[in-house]
Structure 1
Amino acid sequence: MKALMLCGHGSRDKGAMEEFGGLAEKLRERLPDWTTEHGYLEFAKPVIRDGLNRLKNGGAREIVALPGMLFAAGHAKNDIPSVLNTYAAANDVAIHYGRELGIDPKMIRAAGERIRECLRANGWRDGEPLHDTMLVVVGRGASDPDANSNVSKVMRMLWEGLGFAWGETVYSGVTFPLVEPGLTHAARLGYRRIVVFPYFLFTGVLVRRIYDQTDKVAEAHPEIAFLKAPYLGAHDLVVETFADRLREVLEGTNNMNCQMCKYREQVLGFEAEVGLAQESHHHHVEGVGSSADCALCDDICTGACRAVPAPGPVPGAAHSHSHAGDHAHDHPHDHGHSHDHDHGHSHGREHGHEHGHSHGAGHAHGGGHDHHHHPYPHADHPLGPKSMR
């Protein structure tokens, strides 16, 4: 049995989960010889363990697992491998872990097509110069500088590839600059049009927040046309990139990039994080607070749980923590840690389920939800989220 597990982050937003499920269905159509399941790390159901159970119960003894992540920060390096390693050890199955989508020509082409769709919808014709138009790419943001820098590289390749007059990178959370101050800065540069492109796979609270903040800056600058490009979604080239990641595992060419990993190398400003232990704390939010459980919102998560004072319970929800939407940590639920919880590093090897290498550092969790995360060195940056301070 050829068994494939697609591991997503998860969201409280029903639309985001439907879109991720649609991606899994496209992969099933693209890979008819494989039995494909999907699951989520947090805030949605089914959880990853449920998908693995379905594959095991169907007869699988070897499973290829792919992270549904654009870049490798804490979720791809730590949290998903921790879930997979724990499951593999307890259930006598071999799990071969693939790498993130990463910087890939197909992903750049998919992004370029989304941006062109936006431009065409606003009167642009193919081949027209973009000398009066600026591009702003919005990344998720992480406490991992390597992942953040990858967003900047994507922006630069789109900037040059499409011929924009100028380009900037901003982030939806965790790091800096955030969307609103970044767009306010961009508005000062004198371009007639600014295309705002969320480099995200799916919808959710964060994407809607990006568009809302774009509208806010646009209202303050009526002389500039702000165009909101669609996010990547389950574009055919995104599906093809996932198929490539599966092929890499089968061919034994599945290597993560360690050159600038803050857990392996002394990256400037993050030297104290070399060797931190690999672990995950997402067990406390597996499957809870999903759209199926929460009565505060309808199909679209509005972040209403943010208005519920911590640590009191959220009425109608299965979880008492007030996480907003896509695990955005700019909310009252403050543990002094960032979104990506990066305390380890897991490399997809060619075979076997040894997804990570040990860093040897003691980094134990206390009981309950008392996490001891390494501080983000730029938590007090004036253009970063308040929750990082």
Structure 2
Amino acid sequence: MTTWNLMNLQRHLLICNGATCMGAGAEDVTQQIRDEIRKNKLDDIIHTSRTRCNGRCRDKCVVIDYPKGTWYSVQDEKVARSIVHEQVPEEQIIYSIEQGKRKRNSHRIKGIDKYRKYTGKKNKAVLFVGHGSRLEAGNVEVRNFVSQMLPSIDSSLIVETCFLEFASPNIEDGIQACIEQGAKEVHVIPIILLHAGHSKLHIPAEIEEAKELFPEIRFTYGQTIGIHPEVFEILKTRLIDINFDIHAKHPETAILLIGRGSSDAEAISDFYKISNILNNQLDVLAVESAFIGIAEPTVEQGIENCLKHGAKKVVMLPYFLFTGILMERMGRMKESFSKKYPQLEITLAQYFGYHPKLQTVLLERLQQAMNGKSTGMKDLENFRKYVEEYGYEHHH
């Protein structure tokens, strides 16, 4: 390990490299600050260290300047570099102690009291985690779906909804909302179709950080939607919606099940299993699999595979949870393929979506988490082992 000469040291900058800050660009902030120090030949005066979570996730990315005792919220390169010269705009200062006097921006400093007394009547919470969409309509679908589930959820539970990315609140804010309402137990339930990077790494990272910050709080983690009988009922409902008779024979029709795609082998394997099971439940020429990104076959390759089976009709069946950019792309693809393959009758079905039957799955996942029978707890254990062996930096 390096041992720096600290004889001329005057300042020590602690740069948060916790999961939330890393997801918000802390690696860039770290490099920008260090570059500014080098450019100004201040290496012997200013020392920098990466830290784990500093407990101010809402202010990501966080940098702490000692011995001045100033906490900064850094959202862009200009602010990052200005820290080196101590010329940071006041609105980016979270908290500061100067000359023995505490200075604070009252609207910025408020957060969770580590030693607060829980007085609420509800002390257990369920936190549903949606993926999040760049299109707000997709995020509204998540919130509405959770609202529709409320009558089926134990009224003694605090219920909150958050998102992995692209929308607010994020997971740390969701956890904070639960704790601020008095939760001593937080059951985190992912609203995610397949078990891949988000459910194996990103959500566990947030939970593990929360456990360090709040050791007195019990956290459990539910499993993803995965392969469940209701999944196939929902898919068949989407076919019925386009007047497809699921009980009839369709010797000239192929179903093309289209997923988002993943680099995770387990997720891809599960997707193929879903295609195969659906194929066994329908009397069609074939059920083929395709992916809109990352994995193959691509959607066009999937169309061509249907043609190889001798299909004269193809139903594009998107396996997406929410509306958004991908569904817009599906519409354009359908029009393009119809022109390119005029011999095919191509129909685009509605996406999987937040069908009422999905409530059954998520309520089951919640019950498993609360009873300590969720496979999600194994995911937390696997994540800890992964971090020990490889480390972890969260980049969306």
Normalised-by-shorter TM-score class:
0.5 to 0.7
For residues 183-202 of structure 1, give each alpha carbon's deviation from its aligned partner in whole angstroms, at most 9, with x where no partner exists: 23423432121111111111
Matching residue of 1:298 = none
Distance 2:392 2:197 in 1: 16
Contact kept, 8 Å, 1:81 with 1:355, in 2: the verdict is no
Distance 1:232 1:364 in 2: 32
Aligned residue among 117, 128, 131 for 1:6: 128
Aligned residue among 110, 115, 118 for 2:234: 110
Distance 1:241 1:362 in 2: 33
- Within a 5 Å distance, the mapping from 1:83-102 to structure 2 comes to 83-92=206-215, 93-102=217-226
What TM-score, normalized by structure 2, do the two folds share?
0.64
Distance 1:126 1:176 in 2: 27
Q: SS at 2:187's partner residue?
A: strand
The change in CA–CA distance for 1:217 and 1:94 in structure 2 (over 3 A counts) is same
Matching residue of 1:243 = 363
Contact kept, 8 Å, 1:10 with 1:44, in 2: the verdict is yes
Aligned residue among 385, 389, 396 for 1:358: 385
Task: Tell me the amino acid that sits aligned with residue 383 of structure 2.
Answer: G
Structure 1 runs of 4+ aligned residues shifted over 6 Å read none
Distance 2:392 2:125 in 1: 33
Q: Which has the higher contact order (CA 8 A, sep 6+)?
A: 1
- Alignment: residue pair count: 271
The change in CA–CA distance for 1:208 and 1:163 in structure 2 (over 3 A counts) is same
Contact kept, 8 Å, 2:236 with 2:246, in 1: the verdict is no
Distance 1:188 1:211 in 2: 23
The change in CA–CA distance for 1:183 and 1:125 in structure 2 (over 3 A counts) is closer
Q: 1:69 Cα deviation (Å)? A: 0.7
Distance 1:356 1:188 in 2: 42
Distance 1:361 1:254 in 2: 24
- Within a 5 Å distance, the mapping from 1:30-109 to structure 2 comes to 30-33=152-155, 34-92=157-215, 93-109=217-233
Distance 1:188 1:219 in 2: 18
Q: 1:90 Cα deviation (Å)? A: 0.9
User: Where is the strand percentage greater, Structure 1 or Structure 2?
Assistant: 2
The change in CA–CA distance for 1:175 and 1:187 in structure 2 (over 3 A counts) is same
Q: 1:126 Cα deviation (Å)? A: 5.5
Distance 1:234 1:53 in 2: 26
User: Where is the helix percentage greater, Structure 1 or Structure 2?
Assistant: 2
Q: SS at 1:84's partner residue?
A: helix
Computed over aligned residues only, the root mean square deviation of the Cα atoms, in angstroms, reads 2.1
- Within a 5 Å distance, the mapping from 1:296-335 to structure 2 comes to none
Instruction: Give structure 1 stretches of 5+ with no counterpart.
Output: 257-345, 374-389
Task: Tell me the amino acid that sits aligned with residue 104 of structure 1.
Answer: H
Contact kept, 8 Å, 2:315 with 2:347, in 1: the verdict is yes
Larger Rg, first or second structure (1 or 2): 2
The change in CA–CA distance for 1:219 and 1:29 in structure 2 (over 3 A counts) is farther
For residues 155-188 of structure 1, give each alpha carbon's deviation from its aligned partner in whole angstroms, at most 9, with x where no partner exists: 1111120221112100011111111232234234
Matching residue of 1:177 = 297
Contact kept, 8 Å, 1:184 with 1:217, in 2: the verdict is no
Matching residue of 2:338 = 218
Q: 1:213 Cα deviation (Å)? A: 1.3
- Paired-residue identity, %: 27
What TM-score, normalized by structure 1, do the two folds share?
0.65
The change in CA–CA distance for 1:363 and 1:252 in structure 2 (over 3 A counts) is closer
Q: SS at 1:357's partner residue?
A: helix
Q: 1:141 Cα deviation (Å)? A: 0.9
Distance 1:229 1:95 in 2: 38
Contact kept, 8 Å, 1:99 with 1:255, in 2: the verdict is yes
Distance 2:222 2:382 in 1: 9
The change in CA–CA distance for 1:169 and 1:129 in structure 2 (over 3 A counts) is same
Task: Tell me the amino acid that sits aligned with residue 356 of structure 1.
Answer: F
Matching residue of 1:199 = 319
Contact kept, 8 Å, 1:197 with 1:230, in 2: the verdict is yes
Distance 2:384 2:283 in 1: 42
**Quick check: 1:27 aligned with 2:149?**
yes
**Quick check: 1:138 aligned with 2:254?**
no
The change in CA–CA distance for 1:6 and 1:187 in structure 2 (over 3 A counts) is same
**Quick check: 1:347 aligned with 2:367?**
no
Q: 1:348 Cα deviation (Å)? A: 4.6
- Within a 5 Å distance, the mapping from 1:245-260 to structure 2 comes to 245-255=365-375
Instruction: Give structure 2 stretches of 5+ with no counterpart.
Output: 1-121
Contact kept, 8 Å, 1:11 with 1:43, in 2: the verdict is yes
Q: 1:76 Cα deviation (Å)? A: 0.2
Q: 1:364 Cα deviation (Å)? A: 5.4
Comparing 164-173 with 83-92, greater Cα deviation is found at: 83-92
Comparing 24-33 with 40-49, greater Cα deviation is found at: 24-33
